[in-house]
Structure 1
Amino acid sequence: MSSNPTNSTDVFIPNFKTCDEVNEQCPVEAQMYGDYFTKSACIWFTLLYFTCFGTQMFYAWRSKAWSYGAWLGIGTVFEGMGYAARIVMCDDPWNFYAFLVQNLGLVLAPTFIAAAISIIFKHLIDWYGSEWSLFRPALLPWILVGSDMVSIIVQGTGGAVSSMASNKNGKEAKDLMDVGNGLLLGGTIFQVVNMVACGGIMLLYLWKRQQALGRFRSRLGSGGPQDSSKSSSGRGQYDFEATLKVYIWSLVVAYNLIIVRCIYRAVEMASGWGSDIMKTEAIFITFEGQMILTAVAVLTIFHPYVFFPVAGRGGIDRARRSVHSDIQELRPMN
């Protein structure tokens, strides 16, 4: 829908409303990203995200970890859709609908992925003991995921407003862009603060638990059995705990990668639309693309189906009943 000025006094402003292809009036440099995306990178990210999604759905079906699978799956699909839309923009940078999908998808996806990790936090506290937690495990999803939802709503609104602004002209466009940018910046900063706070809750839980275990060991003294967890009767439990520790470290890695990405996004939004940071694709691929792809890959490879199977529906209760049954069988008969 590229148009010419209606008279000599009109000023043609290239935007998504006045341009639908790259030409003399609508050069790619006038678009807010300032250049074509690297198509091979967009294809690579799209394929990997949808591969991860397929693997996640298989694991979710086998593990019955539906809540975790849903949040992680939505985030992964949003990422895949975002980069698929960028593939379209490689051929037509002025495609408004592709811009809208990639903008909203890549903005919102990491928050859904962070919410999936928050679900696992609840199961970890349930497994290791809720007596050291600030909140009852049943409340944690409401608190942690609830705060993630606030971030999703604020950022989603900001992304939608910014997308509408890119289709306007003059003062209306600037006003909408400022509002959208402010919402995106506020939502991203809130997400960083929220994730740091959630991480702090887990670190406090770990500290309180370690303190309690330390006091318990000191009361036992040195006369008790050593390395009982590695005895033949405890070998299965020891192997499970070792595997679970690997899984916890994978969560730590993914969680921190998402925080790094959010800090980058906050800096990008603070710089404004069309800034040098936004126009530098190498920075985007490093701090947005690689951070989130690595986080999703880690969460897919180190899935609770393999590393924390009791996180599935009713899994922790079944595991406890199994342990109780084993103890009953080991008791000497009178």
Structure 2
Amino acid sequence: MSDTDNCTLQTCPLSDAYVEYRPNMAGNIFYLALFAILLIGQIGAGVMYRSWSFMLPMVAGLILEVLGYLGRILLHNKPFSFDAFLIYLICLTIAPAFFTAGIYLCLGRVITVYGEEFSRLKPRTYTYLFVTCDLISLVLQAAGGAVTSIADEQSLRDTGVNIMIAGLVFQVASLVVFSVLAIEYGVRVLRGRRLHSPTQERRSSWMRRSFLLGMYIASESLEGGFHSKLANNEVALMILEGAMVSIACICLTGLHPALLVGKNWRTPQAIARDLEVEK
């Protein structure tokens, strides 16, 4: 326990707190409510479309977002509370890893629907590769959070934070590589588009284009949001973390993968069999 852990707003200056400001109640309550609504939406869509493997990481990430903003609300009246600070820091740092896992699971389905012949790798290879990267970054962030939570000395707490930053950097790099490969696949599809057919019409429907747009916006939003995770600036955090991650989650909920595959989420192999039947 540090010297400031027993401080109150009446006995210590705010500059000694874990965040050098009192988190805004209205803004943090808004984000907590928004992520709670999106959580309900994800559960409802997951049950309706039986997209279990997509729903689980999304629900986990949204629960962490809710807890993270709850921690920030607690910091409003207790800015010297290390427990509230950890809830905020760890939950909001780790949550996007689950959202990127959901995005990574989608690419294999996209490739199956639009044509494996345009892809450099098999659909399952993309999933295994990037979900593994996501797990590595999650382990680093969780390890950093654990070190920070049990540390008695400031230097060890700083080490934990640095480990968390390393996990974030690795995650950003993975997401950038994923985005490049996904865009490259899209370009190859556009260049090699086959002659119009009923199957091609199915693949090009407005619903599926809407989902692809949503997945792209979600990916770009998460890339932007990572940069403010540990910032001691509430405006930057509210815009770059809160707003960017909110946009990503809204896209992944409102423009659900069901727009691409309906109730046929299952696996890329099962989707491929369904497409063969439709031809």
Letter in 1 for 2:76: C
Give 5+ residue unaligned stretches, structure 1.
2-12, 218-227, 269-277, 325-334
Partner residue of 2:275 out of 320, 324, 328: 320
- Once the two structures are TM-superposed, the CA of residue 312 in structure 1 deviates from its matched residue by 1.5
**Identity within the alignment, %:** 23
1:285, distance to aligned residue in structure 2 (A): 0.6
* Aligned partners of 1:107 and 1:159 also within 8 Å: no
Partner residue in 2 for 1:287 = 240
- 1:90: how far off? 1.5
Deviations 1:102-135 (Å, cap 9, x if unpaired)?
Answer: 1110000011101100100111011112223232
CA shift, 1:318, in A, is 6.0
Q: In 2, distance between residues paired with 1:58 and 1:79?
A: 18
Partner residue in 2 for 1:199: 179
The answer to whether the 8 Å contact 1:304/1:311 transfers is: no
Change (3 A) 1:245 1:283: same
1:55 aligns with 2:44: no
Q: Does 2:128 align with 1:142?
A: yes
Q: Aligned-pair RMSD on alpha carbons? A: 2.4
State the distance in 1 between where 2:124 and 2:221 align. 27
In the TM superposition, residue 292 of structure 1 has moved relative to its aligned partner by 0.6
Match of residue 263 from structure 1: 227
Q: Is the 8 A contact 1:75 1:111 kept in 2?
A: yes
Q: Distance in 2 between matches of 1:311 and 1:260?
A: 31
Quote how far apart the aligned CAs of 1:305 are. 2.8
Structure 1 residues 124-172: Cα deviation after superposition (integer angstroms, max 9, x where no partner)? 011112223232212222111110111111112122323334xx3xxx3
**Residue 149 (structure 2) aligns with:** 163
Aligned-partner Cα distance in 2 for 1:310–1:249? 20
What SS does structure 2 have at the residue aligned with 1:115?
helix
Structure-2 change in CA distance of 1:212 and 1:306 (3 Å): closer
- Are residue 128 (structure 1) and residue 114 (structure 2) matched? yes
In structure 2, do the counterparts of structure 1 residues 158 and 239 end up closer, same or farther at CA, with 3 Å as the change threshold? Answer: closer
Cα shift at 1:296:
0.8
User: 2:214 matched to 1:250?
Assistant: yes
Asked whether the 8 Å contact 1:257–1:292 carries over to 2, the reply is: yes
Larger Rg over CA atoms? 1
Q: Displacement of 1:323 after TM fit?
A: 0.8
Letter of the 1:23 partner, please give it.
Answer: Q
Aligned 1:168-183 pairs, distance under 5 A: 168=152, 172-174=153-155, 176-183=156-163
SS at match of 2:3: coil
Deviation at 1:203, TM superposition (A): 2.2
Q: Deviations over 1:173-209 (max 9, x none)?
A: 22x1331232122111111111011112212322333
* Deviation at residue 88 of structure 1 after TM alignment: 1.7
Closer/same/farther in 2, CA of residues 100 and 246 from structure 1, 3 Å limit = same
Alpha-carbon distance between aligned partners in 2 of 1:264 and 1:20, rounded to the nearest angstrom? 27
Aligned-pair CA distance for 1:14: 3.2
State the TM-score, normalized to the length of structure 2.
0.89
